[in-house]
Amino acid sequence: MNGTITSAAADITWDSESRVAFVRYKLDARLGAGDGVLLVDALTGWIGTEATPFAVVADAKELRGTDGHYRAHASKFFRRHRETAFIALLNMGPVIHIVVEMFRLGTGIQLKTFGDEALARAWLRTKGIAA
């Protein structure tokens, strides 16, 4: 099942064959609690209940910030899926890069940053994701 979720802050597209969700943030996006709920609910429905690897590729070029509610909701989800979730982030500004690094360290999730989508997808393939 493929799908797309659209909010004021982002468009999230799921490809069921590759098990990759692609997130593109909208201009000057600032993520709050509702955005965290939207992401987690969408991913929960898409990944199912089996412990099968999946990935999120997010283009953070337009992302300007996240609040504590968003980070708490997202980190709870990704901690539960620490062994099967992979996150590749693209095009981050310096502030978002710091927030992301703190998120990665705090959760222990498998997250890596890239300046290029091809490199991100190559990394995901080494993790068993058909990106």
Q: How far apart are CA 99 and CA 66, in angstroms?
A: 8
pLDDT in tens, 70-120: 999 999 999 999 999 999 999 988 888 888 888 888 888 999 999 999 999
CATH at residue 106: 3.30.750.24
Q: Are 119 and 89 in contact (CB under 8 A)?
A: no
Nearest to 115 by CA among 95, 88, 96: 88
Q: Would you say the pTM of this structure is higher than 0.85?
A: yes
Q: Exposed e or buried b for every residue in 7-39, given b needs 16+ CB within 10 A? A: bebbebbbbeebbbbbbbbeeebebbeebbebb
pLDDT in tens, 49-76: 888 999 999 999 999 989 999 999 999 9
Residue 31 lies in a domain: yes
Number of structural domains in the chain:
1
